[in-house]
Amino acid sequence: MRHRILRCLWVPMMLLALLMGGCTAGPSDRPAVAVRDANLPPQRFQQALPSSPPLPPAGDYYRNSLPWRDCTGAISTGLGLASPRRVECSEIRVDTAADRPVFGNSLHLDLTRVGDGPAPLVVVGEASGEPGTVRAARLAQQLPPALLDRFTLIGMARRGTGPSEPLDCIPKTTRNQIIGIDSDPTQAGQLDSLLDITRVAIETCVQDLGEVLTTINSTGAADDLEQLRVALNAPVLNVISQGEASRTVTEFALRYPSSVGRVVLDGAVDPTLDDVAAAEASLVATDAGYTAFAADCVARGCPLGADPRAALLTLADGLRRNPLRIGWQLITAGIAYQAVLDTVGEPERWPQLAHALAAARSGDGAELAAIVTPILTTDRGLPARFDPALATHCNDTPTRVPPERAQQLARQWQQRSALFGPLFAGRLLLCSAWPVPSPPPESEVRALPPVLVVATAGDPVTPAEGARRTAQSMASATLVTWQGQAHGALPRSPCVADLVTRFLMDASVPRQGTLCPP
C-alpha cells in the first residue's frame, strides 16, 4: 500500500572560517596542504589508518537486478539543463521498519544510475535539498570521467523525496504561511501563529499517514541503504553524502559495518549538538555566509548598494508592512530570509540572490518566489521539499522547544545576529507538535574501514566544526578541509575532487588534517 509523504525547509548551518598562520622557520606543525600544481611534489598518501581495517575492494553489483529504464529527459528537467550522459531510473520497495516489517508499511524509493563502472557508488542527498537521484546525475557531469569508468553513480531519493511516493500532506499555501513567518520579536503574536499553523498541519499529516510518518528519518534511510545493497546484489556499498545526509550514512555504517565500502561524508553535521545548540551554530554560520555574500556583491557592483546587510533589514521591514503577492504566493519577510537560506551556500547563485532582493525592494517579488518554489510546491517534476525535510528533522531530534523559550532565544540571538537570530529561534517551534521519536536502537561499536570526512571552512549550512566532530567520533575517519566558502566542497574544489577520486579509485587515504586551498 503506497503512502503519500511530506517535505521541508530547514537544515543546520555554519561556523567561522579557519584562520591560517604565517610562515615560520623550521618544521611546521600545520596540516599538510593539498594543491594542484605540476611543479610541486605529489601529496603523500597513506594506504590505511593503522587502527582500522583496510579499505575493502570497491566491489561490483548485478546490473540487471532491477528493471532500469531510460529517463534522461526527465532528469535533465530536474537538473535544469541537458544531461550529456544517459540516465536510467528504477525504484525499490523498502520496509519502513526493516527490523520489524509490518504488512502494508512499505514505501517506494526512486533510483537513478549514471555510468558504466562495475562498482556501485551511491549518492545520498539532504532531505531538504536536491534528491540523491538528481544529485547523482549532476555529479556525473562534474566529477572526473575516469570515476564513471570504475563506478556507476546510483542516486537514491530518501523517503518521501522522490516523485514515486512523495510526502505531500501539507497544502502549499500552508507551507508558504509557515515559512513566511519571520519571528521578529517586535511583531506580537508571530510565534503563537507559527505554533498554531504548524500544529494543524502536523495533525493533518498524522491523520493521513499514521505510524508511517514517524519512519521518515535518518535511521530508516540507513536501513534503506542496506535494502538497496541487497537489491543490487552488491557485497558492499560505496557512498557519497552531502550535509545532513551524513546522519543516514554514519548510521548505516554503525548498523551494517560489513556492508560498508568506501565512504565520503561531505559537510557532515555535528553529531554532538542538540537542536537548540545546532540552531545557534547555524545562525552564526549563516550570518557569516551572508557577510561573505555581501562582500562579493559589493565587489561586483552590488544592486543592493554599499551595505547589503542593511538592505536586507530594510527589505524585511518593508515586507512586514506591505507583503507582496505573486499568484498564490505571499512574499513576506520570512520568504525573503528563506531565499537567502536557500542560496547563501551556493556562491554561483549569489548574483541571482542579489538581483532578487533588489527587485523585491522595488516591489517585484517574482524572483524571490521563484527561489523558494522548490520548497513549497512541485517544481521541474520533483515534489515540494518542505514536508520530507520537516518530517526527517523532527523524527531525528527529541528536542521540543516551548514558545516561551523560543521567544527568549529570539531576543538573545537577535544580539548575535540581527538578520537571522529571531528566524532560527522561531523555527525551533516547527517540531513542537510533532510526536517525540523513540530513541533509535543502540548499535554495537565495531571497527570500520577508513572514512573520508570533508569540511568546508566557510560552510554556511553545515558548519565546519560539525565535520570535525564527526571525524573525531569515528576512529577510522580522516578529515580534509577545503578553505572555501560554500555548502559542500564537491565538486567545487578541484583539490577535494582529486583527493576523493584517489580515495575511491585507488584506496589512497589522505594525511589526517590535509588542507585544500580556496
Q: Does the residue 28 lie in any domain?
A: no
Judgement on whether residues 338 and 301 belong to the same structural domain of the protein: yes
- C-alpha closest to that of 339 among 223, 419, 447: 419
Q: Does the residue 36 lie in any domain?
A: no
| Pairing between β-strand 260-266 and β-strand 451-456 as defined by DSSP bridges | parallel
Residue with cell 507559527: 194
Q: What is the Cα 123 distance to its own chain's centre?
A: 12
Judgement on whether residues 188 and 263 belong to the same structural domain of the protein: no
Query: Where among 391, 409, 431 does a domain terminate?
Result: 431
- pLDDT recorded at residue 100: 54
Judgement on whether residues 391 and 493 belong to the same structural domain of the protein: no
- pLDDT recorded at residue 14: 34
- What single letter denotes the amino acid at residue 114? V
SS3 (DSSP) at 185? coil
* DSSP classification of residue 6: B
Query: Where among 431, 463, 491 does a domain terminate?
Result: 431
Q: Is the peptide bond before 440 cis (omega within 30 degrees of 0)?
A: no
Task: Report d(CA 375, CA 337) in Å as an integer.
Answer: 13
Instruction: Give the contacts of 178 (CB within 8 A, at least 6 positions apart).
Output: 170, 194, 197, 198, 201, 386, 430
Judgement on whether residues 112 and 190 belong to the same structural domain of the protein: no
Distances from the Cα of 321 to the Cα of 311, 317, 364, angstroms:
16, 7, 15
Judgement on whether residues 184 and 252 belong to the same structural domain of the protein: no
pLDDT more than 70, % of the chain: 88
Compute how many other C-beta atoms are within 10 angstroms of the C-beta atom of residue 389.
28
Judgement on whether residues 189 and 247 belong to the same structural domain of the protein: no
Task: Report d(CA 434, CA 104) in Å as an integer.
Answer: 23
- What single letter denotes the amino acid at residue 227? Q
Judgement on whether residues 205 and 113 belong to the same structural domain of the protein: no
437 burial class (0-12, 13-18, 19+ CB within 10 angstroms)? middle
Domain containing 483 equals 45-165+214-272+444-516
Q: Does the residue 245 lie in any domain?
A: yes
Q: Does the residue 474 lie in any domain?
A: yes
Compute how many other C-beta atoms are within 10 angstroms of the C-beta atom of residue 29.
7
Judgement on whether residues 64 and 140 belong to the same structural domain of the protein: yes
- pLDDT recorded at residue 84: 83
Compute how many other C-beta atoms are within 10 angstroms of the C-beta atom of residue 207.
10
- pLDDT recorded at residue 407: 92
- pLDDT recorded at residue 3: 41
CATH number assigned to the domain comprising residue 131: 3.40.50.1820
SS3 (DSSP) at 440? coil
- pLDDT recorded at residue 99: 57
Query: Where among 386, 402, 431 does a domain terminate?
Result: 431
Instruction: Give the contacts of 41 (CB within 8 A, at least 6 positions apart).
Output: none
Judgement on whether residues 243 and 150 belong to the same structural domain of the protein: yes
Please identify every stretch of the chain with a pLDDT value under 70, giving residue numbers as ranges.
1-52, 98-104, 443, 445
Q: Are 479 and 467 in contact (CB under 8 A)?
A: yes
In terms of phi and psi (left: phi > 0; alpha: psi -120 to 50; beta: otherwise), the region of 507 is: left
Judgement on whether residues 262 and 374 belong to the same structural domain of the protein: no
- pLDDT recorded at residue 103: 45
Q: Does the residue 277 lie in any domain?
A: no
Task: Report d(CA 193, CA 426) in Å as an integer.
Answer: 11
Q: Does the residue 26 lie in any domain?
A: no
Q: Does the residue 123 lie in any domain?
A: yes
Q: Does the residue 25 lie in any domain?
A: no
- Compute and round to an integer the Cα radius of gyration of the chain: 22
Residue with cell 551494517: 256
* Number of domains present in the structure of the chain: 2
* DSSP classification of residue 21: P
Q: Are 278 and 270 in contact (CB under 8 A)?
A: yes
DSSP states of 46-109 as a string? Answer: ESS-TTSPPPPP-----TTSS--EE-HHHHHHHHTS--SS--EEEEEEEESSTTS--TT-EEEE
pLDDT in tens, 312-357: 999 999 999 999 999 999 999 999 999 999 999 999 999 999 999 9
Judgement on whether residues 328 and 417 belong to the same structural domain of the protein: yes
Distances from the Cα of 154 to the Cα of 141, 239, 245, 348, angstroms:
14, 9, 15, 25
On the CB side of 240, CA atoms within 13 Å amount to 29
- C-alpha closest to that of 300 among 366, 363, 353: 353
Q: Are 413 and 426 in contact (CB under 8 A)?
A: no
Judgement on whether residues 252 and 107 belong to the same structural domain of the protein: yes
- pLDDT recorded at residue 52: 64
In the chain, count of helices (H) and strands (E)? 17, 14
